[in-house]
Amino acid sequence: HYNFCAGPAALPVAVLERARNELVDYQGRGLSVMEMSHRSDEFIAIAEQAEADFRQLLSVPDNYKVLFLQGGASMQFAMLPMNLLGQGGSANFIQTGIWGKKAISEVKRLGYACHLAGNSEAGGYVAVPSQDSLTLSADAAYLHYTSNETIGGLEFDYTPQVVREDGQHVPLVCDMSSNIMSKPINVADFGVIFAGAQKNIGPAGLTLAVVRDDLLGRAVPNTPSLFDYQMLADAGSMVNTPPTYAWYLAGLVFQWLRDDVGGLVAMDAINQRKAEKLYSAIDASDFYSNPIAVANRSRMNVPFVLADSALDKAFLQEADQAGLLNLKGHRSVGGMRASLYNAVPEEAVDALVAFMADFEQRRG
């Protein structure tokens, strides 16, 4: 079976098997990681190793904190303005889909000022706005964008570099929930990177934030301690009990990426091949289509529709029977969506492409 779910998503089989083997008795200690105190030497070692491996994989510079948080990426939508607008100004956004829009509505809900520096909603989110078209507000405190919109299947092919009219660079904040660790990135380009874990990192609930040191300690007054990056950083992400088991599983995923895959350059090449295979199959047929501008097609989430949507149900049913799971598109867009995260092997894409050709031949 292959799992094409958009999230919570497939985990590497090797990681699940190792977790199973260690579930009841972690390395002969006679207890499960789930039962360990988060203050114990055993768990601290697990936590520190996970952070070290994450830092190594992404080449995180020393002037960034890596926080292991809870609440999902959606909680960051609220934590970001609370942490970054303490000195006033407005949150600027590039809106390229549903997740960016949700982040904006959360900032508005909290009563902070917002400005759209770019928005591709009018065109139906089929392309990202060009770098030249982006306009920051004069009071921009940061610019938030979504490097990969999971539902629309739209991925940035560039890192926005935006300078305010007064020449000031503003921190770039990126929601990388659905493409973090799919390729190398230059962390130094960003003020804050955050990601819900449930696609490329581990179990849902765990949330990673990578925060540049100069952005700590600037929260608005009355920010709850669990929302305050500075307090979380000072406590090593342990202001309260962290999601210990999810943290451990994330660590296993990082070890898999490093040792089994060979790091993010190797992962990037594999992801590139997987996406190319599927998009080529879609483009080669009149029966399947994907609406996204070629340069912005997501390598992680590939939405596609059938020429005759009356066949959707049969397609999904037969795919499921063939062991190709969770291909149904998001309820807001319909059609199909194949998510090709890191843990989805190349053979899964081969099997999907073969199934699609066969289905077209029989039903198209």
Using CB under 6 A as the binding rule, whether residue 106 contacts ligand PLP is answered as: no
- Residues 358 and 108: their CA atoms lie apart, in Å, by 48
Question: Is 228 designated active site?
Answer: no
Q: What angle do CA 157, 160, 165 make, to 5 degrees?
A: 155
Minimal distance, residue 94 CB to ligand PLP, in Å: 13
Using CB under 6 A as the binding rule, whether residue 177 contacts ligand PLP is answered as: yes
Binding mask 186-205 for ligand PLP (x = CB under 6 A): ----------x---------
**Among 175, 228, 247, 328, which one carries the catalytic annotation?**
175
- 196 contacts 207 by C-beta, under 8 angstroms: yes
How many C-beta atoms surround the C-beta of residue 97 within 10 A?
20
Taking CB under 6 A as the binding criterion, the range among 31-39, 67-75, 122-130, 323-331 that sits at the site for ligand PLP is: 67-75
Using CB under 6 A as the binding rule, whether residue 152 contacts ligand PLP is answered as: no
Residue 224, preceding bond cis, omega within 30 degrees? no
Applying the rule CB under 6 A, the residues between 261 and 290 that interact with ligand PLP are none
Among residues 205 and 364, whose Cβ is nearest to ligand PLP? 205
Question: Is 256 designated active site?
Answer: no
Write the single-letter amino acid at 149: E
Structure tokens at 348: 């899964």
Judged by CB under 6 A, the residue of 74, 135, 285, 289 near ligand PLP is 74
Structure tokens at 87: 């000195």
Residue at token pair 């996204």: 292
Q: Is 73 annotated as a binding residue?
A: yes
Q: Is 96 annotated as a binding residue?
A: no
State phi, psi for 119 to the nearest 5 degrees: -160, 125
Question: Is 102 designated active site?
Answer: no
Write the single-letter amino acid at 21: N
Angle 244-255/41-58 helices, nearest 10 degrees? 40
Taking CB under 6 A as the binding criterion, the range among 68-76, 115-123, 232-240, 313-321 that sits at the site for ligand PLP is: 68-76
Residues with a catalytic annotation lie at: 99, 175, 199
Query: Which residues are part of a known binding site?
Result: 39, 73-74, 99, 150, 175, 198, 240-241
